[in-house]
Amino acid sequence: MSKFQRGSSDTEPEFTTASLPDIVFMLLIFFMVSTVMREQNIKVRTQLPQAEALTKIDQKRLISKIHIGPLKKGENEGQTAIQIDDALIENRRAIRNIMYNKLQEQPKLIASLKVDQESEMEIVNEVQQELREAGALRINYSSNREGPPGGNN
Amino acid sequence: MAGLLDQRREDRDEAEIPTAGMADIAFLLLIFFLVTTTINVDTGIGMTLPPKLDPNQKPPPVKERNLFKILVNAQGDLLIEEEPASIGQLRRRVKAHVTNYGENPDLAVSPDKAVISIKTDAQTPYDTYVEVLDEVWMAYREIWDSIARSGQTPQGDDVGLDQTYSSYQEYYNTLDPGDDNKIRDAFGAQISIAEPDTGE
């Protein structure tokens, strides 16, 4: 009985929460570093096709995205357009110069073609011819895994 | 005066920044980044375009029997080796073509000589094209899977794998960048995207 008395007179037991901020900060820093803010404002709608024989591109640095699809808004809404980086390509002949310059910076460049599934092959062929002119021969037809309906990215 | 100040300082507790709210702030930021982070890996069908054609140089001749022609028209209908066909047959026929090893005189002589050629019309829908390309790749994938499982090519040659794998993907994952892909070296895929018609 007396032992009980002594125990209850002690200060209340508590978890040490002193290192909690450290743990949280560590997680925070991890997520801050791994987060890639979407730097591009995509002006064309690209509903990607679905495929089975997919390969992953692990090295994000090598990728250069080319978006092909109908314009989301503006006076020419619905018209098929090409977007590289932030800019819509007005003159398709300009693609070879853009891609050539990119290839000089990154010789192992992979051109990731994000093409809307309702596009026609004409524009894809045209872009491919431009890529050949530029010498950017590694391409990737971006597609989603078969199954759930594809995201819009 | 100085003595009085010293006295006061000694009486006071040491000044501290309250850090109790720190964890809350950090949690808030953490949740923000958790929500905004999207870890998306780019996936797609990889291809290598042929280099630019030299107008003075003719493309290398490919024997008719080695060439497996797939034509896709504007409606998305298929023509395989000059016969109308459905996309469901494509995988089986590609496999039959590349694993022929000279048996059937109409099909390829050997896998490394076989060329799959895909030609599209200007109005072909892109998703049909990807579907066709996917089927052709899947035909090769299935062959590679069987090589990975048995360690042998369909003809029975040893590929030289250290062990067998349950699938080609599993073998592929063990490769470091720069390593030789023994399966693809033994059984390569030649898929050609035909030159679009220039309207001549």
Q: Is residue A42 part of a domain?
A: no
Q: Is residue B107 part of a domain?
A: yes
Tell me if chain B has a CB within 8 Å of the CB of A54.
yes
Where is average pLDDT lowest: A2-11, A90-99, B186-195?
A2-11
CATH for B76:
3.30.420.270
Is the predicted ipTM greater than 0.90, yes or no? no
Say whether pLDDT at A150 is over 50: no
Average pLDDT of the residues in A26-46: 78
Residues A70 and A23 in one domain: no
Q: Percentage of chain A with pLDDT > 70?
A: 86
Q: How far does chain A reach from its first CA to its final CA, in angstroms?
A: 69
CATH for A128:
3.30.420.270
Residues A67 and A133 in one domain: yes
Residue B200: predicted pLDDT:
41
Total count of domains within chain A: 2
What is the span of the domain harbouring residue B178? 67-193
Q: Is residue A16 part of a domain?
A: yes
Q: Is residue B61 part of a domain?
A: no
Residues A23 and A92 in one domain: no
Inter-residue contact A31 to A43 (CB < 8 Å) = no
What tens-digit pLDDT sequence spans chain B (200 residues)?
555 555 555 566 778 877 778 778 888 888 888 887 776 677 888 888 888 777 777 777 778 888 888 888 888 888 888 888 888 888 888 888 888 887 888 888 888 888 888 888 888 888 898 999 999 999 888 888 888 888 888 877 787 788 888 888 888 888 887 788 888 888 888 888 877 665 44
Residues A58 and A29 in one domain: no
What is the span of the domain harbouring residue A88? 50-145
Between B108 and A149, name the one with better pLDDT. Answer: B108
Q: Is residue A76 part of a domain?
A: yes
Q: Is residue A105 part of a domain?
A: yes
Tell me if chain B has a CB within 8 Å of the CB of A58.
yes
Residues A61 and A117 in one domain: yes
Q: What single string gives the DSSP state of each residue in chain B? A: -HHHHHHHHHHSPPP----TTHHHHHHHHHHHHHHH-----EEEEEEEPPPPPPTTSPPPP--TTTEEEEEE-TTS-EEETTEEE-HHHHHHHHHHHHT-TT-STTS-SSTTT-EEEEEE-TT-BHHHHHHHHHHHHHHHHHHHHHHHHHSB-TT--B---SS--SSHHHHHHHPPTT---HHHHHS---EEEPPPP---
Tell me if chain A has a CB within 8 Å of the CB of B175.
no
- Contact between B126 and A58 using a beta-carbon 8 Å cutoff: no
- Minimal CA separation from A8 to chain B, in Å: 27
Q: Is residue B21 part of a domain?
A: no
Q: Write out pLDDT tens, residues A57-91.
A: 877 778 888 999 898 887 778 888 888 887 888 88
Residues A22 and A67 in one domain: no
Residues A61 and A114 in one domain: yes
Q: Is residue B20 part of a domain?
A: no
Which of A17, A25, A31, A42 to probe the B interface (max B CBs under 10 A)? A31
- Contact between A37 and B127 using a beta-carbon 8 Å cutoff: no
Q: Is B29 exposed, middle or buried (0-12, 13-18, 19+ CB in 10 A)?
A: middle
- Contact between B23 and A32 using a beta-carbon 8 Å cutoff: no
Residues A119 and A57 in one domain: yes
CB pairs under 8 A between A and B: 147
Residue B164: predicted pLDDT:
83
Tell me if chain A has a CB within 8 Å of the CB of B39.
yes
- Minimal CA separation from B194 to chain A, in Å: 10
Where is average pLDDT lowest: A2-6, A37-41, B35-39?
A2-6
Residues A74 and A121 in one domain: yes
Residues A54 and A23 in one domain: no
Q: Is residue B76 part of a domain?
A: yes
Q: Is residue A71 part of a domain?
A: yes
- Contact between B126 and A49 using a beta-carbon 8 Å cutoff: yes
Whether this model's pTM surpasses 0.90: no
- Minimal CA separation from B3 to chain A, in Å: 37
- Contact between B50 and A132 using a beta-carbon 8 Å cutoff: yes
- Contact between A140 and B42 using a beta-carbon 8 Å cutoff: yes
Total count of domains within chain B: 1
Q: Is residue A122 part of a domain?
A: yes
Q: Write out pLDDT tens, residues A109-136.
A: 889 888 998 888 888 888 988 898 888 8
Nearest chain B residue to A123, by CA: B122
Say whether pLDDT at A152 is over 50: no
Residues A30 and A54 in one domain: no
Which among B157, B177, B164 is positioned nearest to B111, based on CA atoms? B157
Nearest chain A residue to B29, by CA: A28
- Contact between A58 and B46 using a beta-carbon 8 Å cutoff: no
3-state secondary structure of A19: coil
Q: Write out pLDDT tens, residues A11-28.
A: 777 777 778 878 888 888
